[in-house]
Structure 1
Amino acid sequence: MTILSSLKVRFLSFLFITVISLSAQEHPKLILTKTGVEKIKKQLGKVPLMDQAIASVKAEVDAAINKPINLPIPKDYSGGYSHETHKLNYRLMQKAGVLYQILEDDAYAIYVRDMLKAYAGLYPTLPVHPKERSYARGKLFWQCLNDSNWLVYTSQAYDCIYEYLSKKERKYIENQLFRPFADFISVENPQFFNRVHNHSTWGNVAVGMIALVMEDEQLLQRALYGIKDVSLTKGLKDDDGGFILEPGKKAGFFANLDEPFSPDGYYTEGPYYQRYAMYPFLIFAQALQNVKPELKIFDYKDGLLIKSVYALLQLSDMDGDFFPINDGQKGMSYYSGSLVNAVDIAYYYGSKDPELLAIAEKQNTVVLNDAGLAVAQDITQDKATPFVKRSVDLKDGPNGEQGGIAVLRQDGLEVVFKYTAQGLSHGHYDKLSFSLYENGEEVIQDYGLARFVNIEQKGGGNYLKENTTWAKQTIAHNTLVQDGTSHFNGMYEVGSKNHSNHYLFNIDDLAAQVISATEQNAYPGTHMHRTMVMLKDSSWQKPMVLDVMEVKSDSTHTYELPFYYMGQLLTLNQPYKANVQLKPLGTENGYQHLFKEAASPVAEENVKFSWLANKKFYTLTTLASAADSIVLARVGANDPNFNLRRDPALILKKNNVADAFFVSVLESHGSYSTVSELAVNATTSVKQITVLYRDQDYWAIKLELKEGEDKIVAFSSKNVNRNTKHKLNVKGSVISWQGPFAIINLK
C-alpha cells in the first residue's frame, strides 16, 4: 500500500468515525427527532388537530415565559405550593423545548436554559425533603417518585435545547444537576430504584432518559437492569409494599416490563396505576426506539407494550373512565395526558389500527412528535373506525398464570370480575369481587381508593389511613367475607404469594356469557368458586346477571356477601327495622367504618331488593333460607374527618354453616322521567329463583319469569372440557348437555 493510499484510508476512517460521532450527538433524538421536526414543520397549517395542539401548548407556555423563574424551597406535600410549582416548571420546560424545535423561536430555548441553570444552582444546596412520610424522600419533592417525574420531563426539554447550549453550559448543567440527580434517585435510594413497582419504573426511566441525552452508557445500563452493586441493596426494605430487596433479584426497566405485565398486557397493580405507569414505559420505549433501535423494544415479549395500551382501553367503561379496582381514583380516564401519549405511540409503532384513531378523536388532541403527527394526519384523512369494547378476559402474572380480570359486555351493561393476584402494594383484599356498570354509570360499585389526590387539605394529597382501614379491606368490596376477617387476614406478605385461579371464560354465545374463577387461599380450609353469567333474551329489556358463589369449608363459619349499590332504596320484601341510633358493625377489618342502619331476618325464600339510580330501576333477587339475615349498612362510621363517602350497602349473611350457596340475579329494568314524572316498568320481571340441583360437581338453577320463557342454568363445577357430556336427574326429569354449562329455555 502506498503512503498516499494509507493516508487516504486513515482519512476516510477518521471521517467515518467523525460522522458516526456527530450522528450520535445529533439532537433532539429522544421523543422528537430532526426528521420528525422537519415533517411537523412542513405540515404546519395543514393538519388541524396538530395545529390545535401546538396552539394550545404555545398559549400555555407564552403565558409563563415572561414571568420570573420561580424555584421555591421544597417543603410541601402533593398539592402544596412548592410541590405544584416545581411540577409546573418541569411541564413548562418540556413544552417550551418542543416549541423551540417546531417554531424555531430562541425565546423558548432561553426559557429552558435559564430554568435549568437556576435548578443547577439550587440542587446542590438541597437536603432531603423535610416531609418524612415517604420510604424514599426526594429533594425537590417529598418522595423520589416525584423527583423522577421531574427528570423524565426535564430530560426531554434538555434534549430539545441541547444544541442551543454551549459546551460550557452543558457541562455545568450535567455536573451540577443531572448526574447528581440521577445518582440520588438510584444509588442513593436503592430501596426506591431497585424494585418492581410503578415508582421504580419512573425512577428507571428518569435515569435512562437523561443517560440517552448525555450518552452515558453506565447510567443507561443502570436504568435498564438496575443497580448491580448488591452491597447497596442488601437488607434494605421498602415500607410501601414490604419488598425485601434481595441480592440478585431482577431490577431496572426490563424487570418492570417482565414481572408486572401479563402476556395479555394487563398490569398487576390495576388500570389506575397502569395508566400512570404507561407514560414512562412508552416515552422511554419511544426514546429507545429512536436512539437504540437494535433493542427492538416494541417487539419485546411479542409486542407487550402495544398490547398493554389495548388492555388498558378495554378496562374502561363506556365513558372512558378506568374501572377503579385496587387503589384507583374514580373518574380517571383515557382523556388523561398519559393516555393521549399511549394511544398516539401505540398507533404509530403498532399496526396503524384505525380503531385507535377513534379514541384519539375523542381525546381531541395529540402529542407534539412523529407519533402525534401520524395520528393527526390520518384523522384528517378520515381513516378512523369505531373502537369496539369487547367482552375480555385478561390474565394476570408474568406468565399469565396468576388469575386475571374479566369484563362481560352487552347492551350497555358491563360486569367487571376481578380474580387477580394481589397487585403489589396497591392491591386490595378482594378475591372474586365484581362491579356492575350501565352506560358508564356505576350500579354495583367498587369503592376504589381513600385519597384526595393532590388536594393538600386532605392529608397532603396522599393516601389516608382509611385506605388501609377501609378501602383495602374485604368488606369494602362485593365479595365473600368469612368470620368478619379480610382475605389473607389483611396481611400483604401472605396475599402477595397467592392468587385466584381461572376456571372458565366463555363468550361464544352472546345469549350466555360466562366468567368463573376459584379461590382457596384467602381463608385456609375454605374453597370459594364464583360464577357470573350475563344472560340475554329478546323478550327482556336488558340482559340479566346471574351471580353464583359456592363456598365449601372444613368447619363452620359466618359468611357475609355485600352489594354496594348506587342509588336510593325503593323496596325490600323483608320486615326490616331501621336503627334510630347508629352503631358500627364491628371494631376492625373495615367493619368499624360501616354503620348498621337496619337489619332483618329472612322471611321469604327469595329476597327482593330494588333501588333507583340514574333514572333507572334495579332489582337484586337472591336465594335465602330462614337461618339467613340481611343488614342494611352505610359507610362512614369512625370517620371524624369525613374522609369516606357515605355509600350504602346490602349485606347477605349466613350463620354457622360450613358450606354456603349464594345465588342472585341482578336486573336493570324500566326508567323514570323527572319531567313527566312517569315510572315505566318499575318492578322486577323475576318471579322466583330455585335451586334444582346441587352437589360437589354440579349446580342447576331455575329462573322463573313473570313474562317470557323460564330458564335453567346448569353448570359443571369440576369439568370445563367442551366435549364432555353431562346428565342430571332433576326431580324425575333429565337435563343433559355438552360442555361446562348449558342454558335451557322452558316453555
Structure 2
Amino acid sequence: MTSLFQSHSLRIFFFLFIFSQFIKAQDQASSKSSGLILTEEGLKKIKDNLGQVPLFDRSLQEIKDEVDIEINNGIEVPIPKDLAGGYTHERHKKNYSTAQKAGVLFNILGEEKYANYIKKMLLEYAAMYPKLPLHPEERSYARGKIFWQSLNDSNWLVSMSQAYSSIYNWISKEERATLENNLFKPFADFLSVESPQFFNRIHNHSTWGNAAVGMIGLVMNDEELVDLALYGLKEDNIDETARDNDGGLIKQKGQAAGFLANMEEAFSPSGYYTEGPYYQRYALYPFMLFAKALQNKKPELKIFEYKDGILVKSVYALINLTDADGEFFPLNDAQKGMSYFNNSVIMSVDAAYYYGEHNPMLLSIAKKQGEVTLDDAGLAVALGLKNKEEQEFLKESIILTDGSKGNKGGVAILHSKEDKSRYSLVMKYTSQGDSHGHYDKLSYSFYNDGEEVIQDYGFARFVNIEQKNGGGYLKENTSWAKQSIAHNTIIQNETSHFNGDFDTGTKFHSEKYFSDFSKPDVQIISAKENNAYPGTQMHRTMALINSDIFQKPVMIDIFRVTGAKENQYDLPFYYFGQIIETNFEYNSPEKLEKLGSKNGYQHLWKEAAGISSANNSKFTWSNNNKFYTLTNVTKEGDSLIMARLGASDPQFNLRRDPVYIWRKHKAKDAVFVSVLEPHGSYNPITELGNNSFSQIKEAKILIDNDEYTAVELIGFNKTKLLLVIANKNGEGRHSLRINNNEISWKGNYTIIEN
C-alpha cells in the first residue's frame, strides 16, 4: 500500500513539474478564456498556485487522466436513437462532459490537444445538427433532438457552452461562424422560441433550458438570447391544459417565466426548493453555473445578491436536508442514496463559499467531498482547506419554509444527540411540490445517524437503467410512490390526500402551528392540515425528547383527526428489519391477499393482522443490530396489520419493504399517540443482546379534547413524563387539572417529568 501511494504521489509531482514548466513557455494569449466561468484573474491565480494546493492539484490530475483516455479513444457523434441508459444517449452525455472538462484543461494547461479535441467534436455536431429531426422516441412533452427530451439537450448545451467559451478566442472567425450558424444559434432557438412548453415554466426543466440558452448567449455576445433566458418568452398563447410527463401544468397565463422567475418562485426565503431536495440538487447545477457566468460577464446584475442571496442560502438548506452520511432526505420524487457527493453539490458548495462569506463550515463539507471545481471558487476552497480553516458544519434543528414568500408550509428537521449518535426527525408539511410532489401531508421519517428507522419510499424509477422504462418514471410512481399509503401519515377511507388530484393538491398547503427548538432536551414541531379530506382536520405534533426514562432519545407522536362523519383511518409505519416481538396476537393467512384495490393499497400484501385488546400495543423490531419499539396507545378493536410491498407488480418495479399499519374503524374523531423508542443493541460476535426490551411500562392519553391533549409516559423505573399540548390558542396562559394536580404554563405546550 505504501509503495502504491508513493508511486501515485511521484506521478502527481512529476506531472505538476512538467506542466508548470510547460506553462511558463506558453503564449498566454493562445489559451485566453472568454470569462464564462473561469475568469482571467482566477486563471492567473490558479497557474500561480499549481503544485502548491493539494486538493486542487488532485482534482486537476483526476480530470486530466479521464479526459486523456477519452481523447485516445477518439470522437464519436452517433445519430440519436436511444432513451436514457441506451448507447447513443450515454455517448452524447459523455461527449459533453468530456468537452467541458477538456476546455478547463486547455485554459489551465495551455495544451492545444484539448482545444483541438473540442473543436473537432463541435464541428461534427455542427455538421449533424441541421439535418436532425426530433428524437425518434416520443415519450416526452418536449422532445429533444440529440436526446429524447429537451431537458437533456439543455444539459448538453450548458456543458458545451463552457467548452466553446474555452476555445472561443483560439479558433478562427470562420470556424466560429460555422459553429454558431449551424449549431449553437439553432440549438438555442429550438430550446426557447420553438419549445415554449418547455422553456416557459417554473420547474427544474426550464431552469436548465434558461441556463443553456443564456450561457451560449453570453459566449456569443447575443443579448437577445440572454434576455430570453433571464425573462422568458414574451408569448400569450399558452395552452392552460398542457401537462408534462408527470401530470404537472406546463404554464398558466400571466405566470412569470425565465431564469429570474425561477429563482424568485421556486425557492422559499429559507432556500428550500419546492420540488424537494433531490431536484434541488439537480436544479442547483444550472442555477449556479449560469449565475457564475452572469457574475463574470454581467456583474451589474449582482446575481448572487438576488432575492437576498437566495442561491447561497439554497446550498445551506440543501446540506441541512441530508442525513449523517450526507444523503438527501427523499422528500417527494427522489432517488435514495443521492448525496452531497454529487458533482452538482460539489460545484454549489464551492460557489457558496466563494460568492458568499467564505464560511469555514462549508470547507468541512468540501473536505468530505474530496474534490473541487477547477475555477476561481474551487481554488478558494482548496486554499482554505490547505490553510486548515475548516470548521464543522453544525446541523441544528431547523424549519425550512416552502413557497416563494415562505408562506406555504415547510419542512421541520429535528435533531437530538446521545453519545456519538444523532437522531433526526423529518416532518413534512409543505405545499404540493409541483409535478414531483407526493400526497403526504404531515408525513415524517426518522433516522439514527445515517440509518433509516422509519422510511420514506422515494420515487419508483431506475434512473438511466434502459431496461426499466428507458430510465424514466415507472407507472408505479403514480400508482404507489405518490399515494398517501406509501407514506407515514393518516389515510382516510383508503383514499389519498386530495383524492390524488394534482390540481386540487396544488391549491393547498399545511400550516405550522408551533415549533420550539430552544430546549436541549426537547425539540418539538406541530402542524395542521385542513384540506386533504373534505370535512376532516388533521393536527400532528411530534417531539424528540431526552428523558431519564429512556437510554436514548425517543419520538412522541400525537396525531389528532377530527372528522365530519365516521371514517376508517390508517396510520402506517414503514420500518426496516426483523420483527422481534409484539404484545398482541395476530393471524398469518396461508394465502396472501391484497390490502385494497386502488390508491396504492393494491400494491400491499396483507401478511398478518391482529386486534388490539390492551391500552398499549407494542411492536418491537431489530435492524442493523439495534432495537426499536413502537408503543401505540390503542383502543380495544383497533386493527394492527403487517403488510409488505410487492402486490400488483408483475415486473418487480417496487422494493419488497415491510409496513406496520394501525387502523381505526368507524371513527369520527380519533387520536393516534405513538412513542418510537430506540433501545439496546446486539453483538453478533459475543452473541449477546443488550437492553432489547422497551423501557416504557405504559403510555396513556389523560386528556383529549378541542382544547388540550395530555399524554403520560410511565417507565419501568417509575419515572413519569407528562406532555400537554394546547390544541388552540396556544400562545396564552393555561391552567389544567391532571391527576388531581393543578398545572399552569404559558405557551403551546408543557413537559413535566417526575
Residue 753 of structure 2 is matched in structure 1 by 745
2:682 is aligned with 1:684: no
707-716 vs 501-510, greater mean Cα deviation = 707-716
Q: C-alpha distance in 2, partners of 1:662/1:512? A: 20
Q: C-alpha distance in 1, partners of 2:521/2:483? A: 35
Q: C-alpha distance in 2, partners of 1:242/1:67? A: 42
Q: Is the 8 A contact 2:238 2:253 kept in 1?
A: no
In structure 2, give the amino acid aligned to 1:661.
V
In structure 2, give the amino acid aligned to 1:562.
P
Matches within 5 A, 1:458-537: 458-537=468-547
Residue 451 of structure 1 is matched in structure 2 by 461
Residue 10 of structure 1 is matched in structure 2 by none
Q: Deviations over 1:542-573 (max 9, x none)?
A: 11100010000111100000000111111111
2:607 is aligned with 1:597: yes
Q: C-alpha distance in 2, partners of 1:234/1:490? A: 20
Q: What displacement does 1:242 show? A: 3.1
In structure 1, give the amino acid aligned to 2:651.
N
Residue among 404, 409, 424 paired with 1:398: 404
Q: What displacement does 1:692 show? A: 1.1
Matches within 5 A, 1:213-252: 213-231=219-237, 236-252=242-258
Q: Deviations over 1:582-609 (max 9, x none)?
A: 1111110000000000111111110000
Q: Is the 8 A contact 1:391 1:409 kept in 2?
A: yes
Q: What displacement does 1:488 show? A: 0.3
Q: What displacement does 1:38 show? A: 0.9
Residue 332 of structure 1 is matched in structure 2 by 338
In structure 2, give the amino acid aligned to 1:715.
I
Residue among 346, 364, 369 paired with 1:363: 369
Q: What displacement does 1:459 show? A: 1.2
Q: C-alpha distance in 2, partners of 1:275/1:319? A: 16
Q: Is the 8 A contact 1:715 1:740 kept in 2?
A: yes
Sort the Cα spacing of 1:232 and 1:433 in 2 relative to 1 into closer, same or farther, 3 A: closer
226-235 vs 57-66, greater mean Cα deviation = 226-235
Q: Is the 8 A contact 2:399 2:410 kept in 1?
A: yes
Residue 417 of structure 1 is matched in structure 2 by 427
Residue among 132, 136, 139 paired with 2:142: 136
In structure 2, give the amino acid aligned to 1:387.
F
Matches within 5 A, 1:152-301: 152-231=158-237, 236-301=242-307
Q: Is the 8 A contact 2:612 2:638 kept in 1?
A: yes
Residue 39 of structure 2 is matched in structure 1 by 33
2:142 is aligned with 1:149: no
Q: C-alpha distance in 1, partners of 2:578/2:130? A: 58
SS, match of residue 546 in structure 1: strand
2:352 is aligned with 1:342: no
Q: C-alpha distance in 1, partners of 2:469/2:360? A: 43
Q: C-alpha distance in 1, partners of 2:397/2:238? A: 46
> TM-score, normalising length from structure 2?
0.94
Matches within 5 A, 1:497-646: 497-538=507-548, 540-646=550-656
Residue 96 of structure 2 is matched in structure 1 by 90
SS, match of residue 328 in structure 2: coil
2:716 is aligned with 1:726: no
Q: C-alpha distance in 2, partners of 1:438/1:490? A: 31
Q: C-alpha distance in 2, partners of 1:245/1:597? A: 44
727-736 vs 188-197, greater mean Cα deviation = 727-736
In structure 1, give the amino acid aligned to 2:167.
I
Q: C-alpha distance in 1, partners of 2:535/2:631? A: 29
705-714 vs 390-399, greater mean Cα deviation = 705-714
Residue 16 of structure 1 is matched in structure 2 by none
Q: What displacement does 1:320 show? A: 0.2
Matches within 5 A, 1:109-120: 109-120=115-126
SS, match of residue 528 in structure 2: strand
Sort the Cα spacing of 1:492 and 1:234 in 2 relative to 1 into closer, same or farther, 3 A: closer
Residue 123 of structure 1 is matched in structure 2 by 129
Unaligned runs of 5+ in 2: 1-28
Q: Is the 8 A contact 1:617 1:668 kept in 2?
A: yes
Q: Is the 8 A contact 1:135 1:240 kept in 2?
A: no
Sort the Cα spacing of 1:503 and 1:238 in 2 relative to 1 into closer, same or farther, 3 A: same
Q: Deviations over 1:319-376 (max 9, x none)?
A: 0000001001000000000010000000000010000000000000100000000000
Q: Is the 8 A contact 1:190 1:233 kept in 2?
A: no
Sort the Cα spacing of 1:222 and 1:170 in 2 relative to 1 into closer, same or farther, 3 A: same
Q: What displacement does 1:239 show? A: 4.7
Q: C-alpha distance in 2, partners of 1:237/1:420? A: 22
Q: Deviations over 1:677-698 (max 9, x none)?
A: 1100000001111111121011
Residue 680 of structure 2 is matched in structure 1 by 670
Residue 69 of structure 1 is matched in structure 2 by 75
In structure 1, give the amino acid aligned to 2:42.
G
Residue 52 of structure 1 is matched in structure 2 by 58
Q: Deviations over 1:106-125 (max 9, x none)?
A: 00000000000000001111
Sort the Cα spacing of 1:628 and 1:528 in 2 relative to 1 into closer, same or farther, 3 A: same
SS, match of residue 743 in structure 1: strand
Residue 14 of structure 1 is matched in structure 2 by none
Q: Is the 8 A contact 2:81 2:88 kept in 1?
A: yes
Residue 20 of structure 1 is matched in structure 2 by none
In structure 2, give the amino acid aligned to 1:97.
G
Q: What displacement does 1:149 show? A: 0.2
In structure 2, give the amino acid aligned to 1:50.
F
Q: Is the 8 A contact 2:151 2:205 kept in 1?
A: yes
Q: What displacement does 1:731 show? A: 4.3
Q: Is the 8 A contact 1:187 1:232 kept in 2?
A: no
Q: C-alpha distance in 1, partners of 2:415/2:223? A: 48
Q: What displacement does 1:229 show? A: 2.7
Q: C-alpha distance in 2, partners of 1:423/1:231? A: 25
> TM-score, normalising length from structure 1?
0.95
The number of residues matched between the two structures is 721
Residue 100 of structure 1 is matched in structure 2 by 106
Unaligned runs of 5+ in 1: 1-22
Q: C-alpha distance in 2, partners of 1:130/1:407? A: 44
Q: What displacement does 1:237 show? A: 4.4
Q: What displacement does 1:736 show? A: 1.5
Q: C-alpha distance in 2, partners of 1:504/1:143? A: 43
Q: C-alpha distance in 1, partners of 2:282/2:729? A: 39
Q: What displacement does 1:614 show? A: 1.3
Q: C-alpha distance in 2, partners of 1:232/1:107? A: 47
Q: What displacement does 1:234 show? A: 7.3
SS, match of residue 53 in structure 1: helix
Q: C-alpha distance in 2, partners of 1:572/1:73? A: 60
Residue identity over aligned pairs, in percent, reads 55
Residue 384 of structure 1 is matched in structure 2 by 390
In structure 1, give the amino acid aligned to 2:310.
L
Superposition RMSD on alpha carbons, in Å? 1.3
Q: What displacement does 1:709 show? A: 2.1
Q: What displacement does 1:538 show? A: 4.8
Residue 9 of structure 1 is matched in structure 2 by none
728-737 vs 510-519, greater mean Cα deviation = 728-737
